[in-house]
Amino acid sequence: MNQNVFIELINPFKDKVFRLAKRLLTSTEEAEDATQEVMVKLWNKKENLSDYNNVEAVAMTMTKNYCLDQLKSKRAGNLKIVHNNYTDREPLLDKKLEDSNSLEWVEKIINQLPEQLQILIQLRDVEQYEFEEIAKIVNMNETAIRVALSRARKKIRESMLNTHGYGIQ
């Protein structure tokens, strides 16, 4: 497989790989590193990629595994992951401020969920993967994924209602 064919093969999902890595690692720099690592691994396997039915699912699985390995090694070294996605911005309208606050709260709530649920929410609700594809990536059955997503969404909804109904937690 030549370089141009390889690039055409991975370009449609390269951004998805980055977004999943960003969701798990939270740091843009680490997500870029993870994306590059996955692309290198895919390049090294380029001759065998035609053996796979879904190269995108292989790439997403590799990304998930790489990121989880990175997180485990950080935890072992007692390093703290710093979340710096949001900076103070001055919105032009009250609506922008309210939306921004809601998005920040949802992001905080999602980040408090177990890693498995974070991955499922990223793949289904952000990346819009079908349940069948998610099942292949995370090695779970579709019913378990649906139940886990339902519970995660319920927890997010309840946390948001508590925040907006009773003030900041």
pLDDT in tens, 46-56: 787 777 778 88
The percent of residues in the chain predicted with pLDDT above 70, rounded, is: 80
Are the beta carbons of 21 and 31 closer than 8 angstroms?
yes
Domain shared by 100 and 68, yes or no: no
Average the pLDDT over each of 18-22, 24-28, 52-56, 97-101 and give the range with the smallest value.
Answer: 97-101
What is the rounded distance in angstroms from the CA atom of residue 12 to the CA atom of residue 32?
17
pLDDT higher at 121 or 10? 121
122 and 152 within one domain: yes
Q: In this predicted structure, what is the pLDDT of residue 123?
A: 92
Mean pLDDT of 141-167: 85
Which CB contacts under 8 angstroms, 24+ apart, belong to 157-164? 159/105, 159/109, 160/102, 160/105, 160/106, 160/109, 163/105
- Minimum mean pLDDT range among 18-22, 84-88, 138-142: 84-88
Single out the residue in 49, 76, 103 at which a domain terminates: 76
In a domain, 50, yes or no: yes
Instruction: Summarize the confidence of residues 10-17 as an average pLDDT.
Output: 88
Q: What percent of the chain has pLDDT over 90?
A: 37
Q: How far apart are CA 40 and CA 38, in angstroms?
A: 5
For residues 136-144, average pLDDT: 93
Q: Same structural domain for residues 123 and 70?
A: no
Is 130 domain-assigned?
A: yes
pLDDT higher than threshold 50 for residue 35 = yes
Structural domain tally of the chain? 2
Q: Is the pLDDT of residue 13 over 80?
A: yes
Q: Which domain holds residue 52?
A: 3-76
Q: What pLDDT is recorded for position 114?
A: 92
Does the pLDDT value for residue 37 go beyond 50? yes
Q: 155 and 102, same structural domain?
A: yes
82-136 confidence digits (pLDDT tens): 444 444 444 456 666 666 677 787 888 888 999 999 999 989 988 889 999 999 9
